[in-house]
Chain A
Amino acid sequence: MINPIDLSVNGVPIAVPAGTMVSTAVALAGVTRFRRSVTGEARAPLCGMGICFECRVSINGREHCRSCQVPCENGMEVAADA
């Protein structure tokens, strides 16, 4: 992997190629439930382009970030299903 980026998803370290979006890193970490809906259903990315808000996770402690629009950065702490 050229210039891998090291981050963590739900506390587990993962390395991804530069340019990878957080949504992809979450999926690569084996997480299928990105968030829980208001009635508790498991949800994951739908649109991949920033409009549906189904891919929301917390990034570095900030909640409700659309993971499909945020590129991975070194040291990022991502929490799905917060």
Chain B
Amino acid sequence: MPDCDVLVIGAGPAGLAAATRAAETGASVAMVDDNPHPGGQIWRAAAGKAPQDAARWIHSAEQHQVEWIAGARVFAAPAPNRIAVEKFDGELELGYRSLILATGARERFLPFPGWTLPNVMGAGGLQALAKSGLPVEGKKIVIAGSGPLLLAVAKYMKEHAADVRLIAEQATQSALLAFGLRLAAHPGKLIQAVGLRAALLGIPYLTSCWPVAAEGKDKLEAVTLSRGERTWTERCDYLACGFGLVPNTEIAALLGCRLSDGSVAVDEQQQTSITNVYSAGEATGIGGLELALVEGEIAGFAAAGASARARTLFAARDRYRKFAEALEHAFAPREELKALPREETLVCRCEDVTLGRVRSCTGWREAKLHTRCGMGPCQGRVCGAAVEFLLGWKSESVRPPVFPTRIESLTRTEPPA
């Protein structure tokens, strides 16, 4: 007996929209997320208080009796139509008729000398800590990497009285100008972009600029930046650095869903290559909030068998997908970044494996076997995207568990036949 008709993994915008729409049709719906609060990355609750648009979705999920399973991490698929979940205080198994993977994305981290020092964080990473109470008032912060997330983080930090020294965006000015032109076709986005620009007044936004080294004794003290011919050092308390986002596809891979170009492949109903498994939001490709929401709605309707209602949203999805394509193009990491790590720079932070050692291998398999690169607790979630960018190696297939789990969780769950 399944525990629910529709099970949603991930309670970000895509998961919330999916759960709500599925429940609206009368289906019984459960939603699990690793985090203690719903909202995903963008709506990460500020000490328990979610922003308003988030509150609307969370409220309507509650109203439609979506069962919310918090602080629960999916780590295995022990039998067909069942998943295993680990919580802080134990584990449980959940059965479903249809599954929706709304597992979102993570930041792409690229190694450079000093990137392992305390207080060098992801851009979204520092924001997440700040939202959970880390005071940033008066702190000197350099924001670097690539993509619109840098602007969102800068705005957040400025609003919280941080001293944001500068934003270093690796993309070229001309790529961004071309992106700006395409933005004009998306009035909603344009207003957002303009609003951000006003909010960021006074913070230098430097294109074609990136960190070449983070320096400090026990923790970060300064970052050296490079822009064209110029190289200079900026003292700071935090370096918030992320080079765009990469989809979280581990659960999809575990289930055997087809992946394409690093994201979960879906058809027009957001259905994966497995009939009763759907996927929505950034797991299917990086596209921002609006696309995640509309994909979630489509997946929710479709998973509950309401495909006609799903169809009414296709046009909106197409519009946001065009925006997502332009985004990807404008902020693609450039070749020069491959020269950032030195041979002795660590690539794998779990097992402390240097670029030189990884490079001496013929591919992922050998690197894992001989250097343990990607074999630590993060299981390649950080180094995988870096190695793919630096050396062009695609990650190997996933074996359960997709997260390291406590021994008792493993012995209770039979491996798949």
Contacts and interface: CB of A to CB of B under 8 A. Distances in A.
Interface string A6-21: 0000000000111111
A43 B135 CA distance: 20
Interface string A29-63: 00011100111011111111111111010000000
Interface string A61-74: 00011001111000
Contacts of B122: 46-48
Contacts of B45: 19
Contacts of B352: 37-39, 41
Interface of A: 16-21, 23-25, 27-28, 32-34, 37-39, 41-54, 56, 64-65, 68-71
B124 A52 contact: no
16 contacts: A18-B47, A18-B48, A24-B133, A27-B134, A28-B134, A28-B135, A32-B218, A41-B352, A42-B117, A43-B118, A46-B121, A47-B128, A48-B124, A48-B132, A53-B404, A70-B88
A16 B134 CA distance: 10
Contact of B377 (A32, A64, A69): A64
B129 interface: yes
B121 A20 contact: no
B21 interface: no
Interface stretch (B33-41, B160-168, B201-209): B33-41
A42 B118 contact: yes
B34 A69 contact: yes
Interface string B334-378: 000000000000000111100000000000000000000000111
A17 B106 CA distance: 27
Nearest to B122: A47
Interface of B: 34-36, 41, 45-49, 71, 73, 88, 106-107, 109, 116-122, 124-129, 132-135, 218-219, 248, 349-352, 376-378, 381-382, 404
A23 B410 CA distance: 26
A25 B46 CA distance: 15
Contacts of B134: 24, 27-28
A44 B133 contact: no
Contact of B378 (A17, A18, A45, A52): A52
A46 B133 contact: no
A49 B349 contact: no
A23 B34 contact: no
A71 B118 CA distance: 21
A27 B119 CA distance: 10
B382 A21 contact: no
A32 B121 CA distance: 13
B218 A49 contact: no
B219 A46 contact: no
B129 A38 contact: no
A51 B118 contact: no
B133 A28 contact: yes
A53 B116 contact: no
B121 A17 contact: no
Nearest to A40: B352
A47 to B, nearest CB: 5
B382 A51 contact: yes
A54 B119 contact: no
